[in-house]
Structure 1
Amino acid sequence: MTSEQQPTPGQRVERLRRAAGLSRERLAGLCGLSPTTVKFIENGRRSLTLRAAQQLAPHLGVRDLGDLFGPEVALSLDGRASHPAVNDVRRALTAWHITIDGEPESTDYLRGAVDSAWQTWHTSRHQRTAAGEILPGLLDATQRATRLHNGDDRRASLTLLAQAYHLAQAYLAWHGDREMVWLTVDRGMTAALDADDPLAIAQASWYAAHLLRAVGRGDEALDRLRQARGLIEPRVADGGTEWAEMLADLHLCAALTRARTGDQGAWSDWDAARTVVDRALPDGFVGLRTRVSRPLVDVYAVMCAVDLGDPDEAQRRAHALDPASIPSTERRGRHFVELARSADLEGAREATLHLLGRAEATSPETVRYSPVAQDMVTRLCREAPAAIRAEAVDLARRIGATDL
C-alpha cells in the first residue's frame, strides 16, 4: 500500500473500535469524549489530536500511537503553544519554603489580592498574560501566610491559598503541562481540607472534577461533585448567597461532565443549577470568582448542547443570549468558540470562521491557547472554500497556529 492509500487516523480509530466490539457511544463513555467527537474523528470532520489519541488508545488496545496516526505522521511534543510565563509559575509551585521568617501579610490583604487576581482573570482580554504576571507573587504570599499565621488566621490563609492554586490551574490548563495541573489540583484540595472549610472543599472538588473529566475519568468526577453537593446543600437555605452560588456551580460542572460523555442526563443537572440561581440568588447576581449568574447558566446550556452533538439545540439556546451579558471576558471568548463548534458540527465553515474571529476579537488568548479553537482554525486553512481561505490563514497566523 502506498502512502496515498494509507488509512487516515480517523479510519484507523474506526477499524480498531469495530475490532474491539465497541459502539461509538460506548467508546466515548470509556474515554471521556462525546459520541459526536468520536464520530467526527472517524469521518475526518475533526482532527485526531494527540490528547484525544491518548484518551482513546487504552480502550482500543493501542500501545503505540503510531497505530493510530500511521507511520507517515510525525508527532511533535512542541506543537502546542505554551505561554511564556509558564516557567515562572512552575518555579513558584515548586519553590518549597524549607525555612521561613518575617511577618505574613494580613488575611484581609491576601483576600483582596486573591479577589483582585480573579477579577483580572475575568476582565482582561489577555487574561493568561495578566495571570502569569500575578501568580508567582500570589502563590508565594499565600504559601508564606499559611506557615506564619496561627489559629483562625491560618485557616483563612489556607482557604485563600486554595484559591491561588485554583487560579494556577485555570492558567495552566491549556499549556500542556499536565503534571503541574495535577499538582495545583492536589495542593488546592489539601489546602481546603486543612482549612476544614466546606465551601473551600466544594470549590476544590469542582476544580478536581474538571481535570478528572479531561483525562477520561468522568465517573470519578461526578462522584466528587455528588460528595461536594452533600456538604453544600444542607446550608443553602440558611446560609448566604455564597452557598447557593457554589451549589449552582457544582450542578453546572456535573451537567457539562455528563454532556461530554453523551449523557442526556446533563439537562437534569443543568435544570437544577438554573433552579438554584432563579430561586436563591438575587437578580443581577454575579459570583466574584465563579461568575455564576443567569447568563452563565445559559452559556452552559449552549456548551451542553454542543457536547451532546445537537447544533440545532445549541443555536436555539444561544438565540436569546446576548454575549455582552456574559460577565467574564474569558467566558465570553469561550462562548464564541462554543458557537463556532456548533457551526463546525453542521459544516458551516463561513460561520465557523466568523465566530472564531469574534472569539479572537473578544479574548485573543482564549483562541490562541484553546486546543479546540486551534484545531478548527487549522482545518479551516486546509478545507475552507477559496473565498474565505485567506481569511482563515490570516487568523491562524494571528493566533500562532502551528499545524499548517
Structure 2
Amino acid sequence: MTSLAVTAAAASAPARAAVAAAGSNADQRNFLLARVRDAMLGTGRLSHPIPPPQLRPALGAAVRAYDNCQYGRLADALPRLISSGHSAGETAIPVLAETYTLVTRIMIKLDDQLGWIAADRARTLAAASGRPLVAGEAARNLAVLARRAGWHTQATQIALDMAEDEMLRGPAPTLTAERGLLVMSAAYTAAHDGDRSGMRQLTEQAAATAAQLGSGVLLRDHGGGFGPTAVRLHRISAEYAAGDPAAAIAAARELTPRSLPTLERRARYFTDIARAYGMWGRRDQCLEALLHAERAAPQETHSRPAVRDLVTSLLVSGRTSPDLRGLAARCGVP
C-alpha cells in the first residue's frame, strides 16, 4: 500500500480532527435520507425557499458539497432545491432535472430505494428540458440502478442506447465525453455480469474516446467527469467486479490520489482498493486502504453501506485490531 498511497501519508491535523469528530457521521446518512424523502414526497416544510434566479448557483454549491463529501450540507441544500425547483415552474426544469440526477447519484451511493424515484423524475425532466447532457446523465444513473437490481441486459441497453442517441451526436467534446461515460457504465455492467472480455473491450473503447479528448477532465460535475484518469479509476472497480483483484490493484498503481479531480473520487479510489484487497483476502491492506479513505472523506466513508459491509467482513473473518475496532465504531458497525 505504500506505493499506492504515497500522496496520502499521515493525515494533517485538520484531517485527524475531522476523523475524531465524525462519530455521528453514520447518523448523518439517515438525516440526509429523511430530509430528501420528505422533500420528494412533499411532506416536509420548506424553509427559506430559493429564488428562481439563485437556483443554478445553489445547485452548483450542492455539486461542490457532493464532490467534497459534505453530506451535512446536502441534507439542507437538496430539499431546498427540490421544493424550490418545483415551485419555480417551467423555467426551472433543467435545474430540477440536474438536481434529481444529483439526488440519484447520492442514493446510489447510500444504497437507498429513493434512487428509483429520483431517477425516474430526472429522466422525465431531462426529456422535457431537451438538453442532451442532462438526458445522458439521467440515463446513466438509471442504468446503474438497473445494474444494481441485477438487470444486466437492461442496464447495458439503457447505457448503450443513450450513447448512440441522436441527442448525443455531434463533434462537441462534451457530447463525446458523455458518450464515453455511458460506455464506461456498460463496461462496469459487463464486469458485474461476469463478462470479463466484454468489460475490457468496452473499457478500451472508453479509453480510446478519452485519448481523443486529451488529458483534461470534461464534465467534472457529472460524477467526477470523463477523461483518461476517469477511465483508469474505472478499471480498478471493473476488474475486481469481474473477479480479478490482482488486475484491480495493478490498475490502481497507475494512478495517484492527487491526480483525481475531486475528494469524492479520491475516496472512491481508496474504497475500490480496499474492496479489491478484501476480495483477495489481504485483510491488512484492505484495512489500510479503508483508513486512507476515512482520512480523505470521513462522512463519505462512514455513510456508505458498502464500506460498513466490508468492515463487518473484516471483523468476522479474522483477528481484530484497535484500528479496525475504531473504524467499526465510527462507521456505526456493532
Letter in 2 for 1:85: L
Structure 2 vs 1, CA of residues 323 and 176 (structure 1 numbering), >3 Å: closer, same or farther? closer
Q: Is the 1:286–1:327 Cα contact (8 Å) retained in structure 2? A: no
CA–CA distance in structure 1, aligned partners of residues 315 and 99 of structure 2: 38
Structure 2 vs 1, CA of residues 357 and 227 (structure 1 numbering), >3 Å: closer, same or farther? same
Q: What is the TM-score when the length of structure 2 is the normalising length?
A: 0.83
Q: Is the 1:368–1:401 Cα contact (8 Å) retained in structure 2? A: no
Q: Which residue of 2 aligns with 1:217?
A: 151
Q: Which residue of 2 aligns with 1:269?
A: 202
CA–CA distance in structure 2, aligned partners of residues 168 and 234 of structure 1: 23
2:233 corresponds to 1:299:
yes
**Secondary structure of the structure 2 residue equivalent to 1:259:** helix
Letter in 1 for 2:272: E
Shift of 1:198: 2.7
CA–CA distance in structure 2, aligned partners of residues 354 and 110 of structure 1: 41
Alignment of 1:7-22 (within 5 A): none
Q: Is the 2:245–2:277 Cα contact (8 Å) retained in structure 1? A: yes
Q: Which residue of 2 aligns with 1:121?
A: 66
Shift of 1:176: 5.2
Structure 2 vs 1, CA of residues 251 and 163 (structure 1 numbering), >3 Å: closer, same or farther? same
Shift of 1:81: 8.6
Q: Is the 1:131–1:171 Cα contact (8 Å) retained in structure 2? A: no
Alignment of 1:354-373 (within 5 A): 354-373=288-307
Shift of 1:103: 11
Q: Is the 2:184–2:231 Cα contact (8 Å) retained in structure 1? A: yes
CA–CA distance in structure 2, aligned partners of residues 144 and 115 of structure 1: 19
Letter in 1 for 2:79: P
Q: Is the 2:264–2:297 Cα contact (8 Å) retained in structure 1? A: yes
Larger Rg: 1
CA–CA distance in structure 1, aligned partners of residues 162 and 315 of structure 2: 44
Structure 2 vs 1, CA of residues 80 and 141 (structure 1 numbering), >3 Å: closer, same or farther? closer
Q: 1:161 aligns with which of 96, 99, 115?
A: 96
Structure 2 vs 1, CA of residues 158 and 345 (structure 1 numbering), >3 Å: closer, same or farther? same
Letter in 1 for 2:268: R
Percent of aligned positions that are identical: 25
**Secondary structure of the structure 1 residue equivalent to 2:164:** helix
Q: Which runs of 5+ in 1 are unaligned?
A: 1-78
Q: Which residue of 2 aligns with 1:391?
A: 323
Describe the superposition over 1:336-393 as per-residue Cα deviations: whole angstroms up to 9, x where unpaired: 11111111122111111111111111112232222222122112223333xx523211
Alignment of 1:320-331 (within 5 A): 320-331=254-265
Structure 2 vs 1, CA of residues 82 and 236 (structure 1 numbering), >3 Å: closer, same or farther? same
Q: What is the TM-score when the length of structure 1 is the normalising length?
A: 0.70
Structure 2 vs 1, CA of residues 132 and 171 (structure 1 numbering), >3 Å: closer, same or farther? farther
Describe the superposition over 1:11-55 as per-residue Cα deviations: whole angstroms up to 9, x where unpaired: xxxxxxxxxxxxxxxxxxxxxxxxxxxxxxxxxxxxxxxxxxxxx
CA–CA distance in structure 2, aligned partners of residues 174 and 320 of structure 1: 25
Corresponding pairs, count? 302
CA–CA distance in structure 2, aligned partners of residues 90 and 234 of structure 1: 32
Q: Which residue of 1 aligns with 2:217?
A: 285
Q: Which runs of 5+ in 2 are unaligned?
A: 1-25
Describe the superposition over 1:118-161 as per-residue Cα deviations: whole angstroms up to 9, x where unpaired: 12211x2x43222222101111222222x2x4xxxx3xx32221
Q: Is the 1:158–1:191 Cα contact (8 Å) retained in structure 2? A: yes
CA–CA distance in structure 1, aligned partners of residues 304 and 156 of structure 2: 24
Q: Is the 1:139–1:164 Cα contact (8 Å) retained in structure 2? A: yes
Letter in 1 for 2:277: A
Higher relative contact order (CA 8 A, sep 6+): 2
Q: 2:184 aligns with which of 247, 252, 259?
A: 252
2:11 corresponds to 1:93:
no
Describe the superposition over 1:205-257 as per-residue Cα deviations: whole angstroms up to 9, x where unpaired: 101001111111111111111221122686232x2x22122111101111111
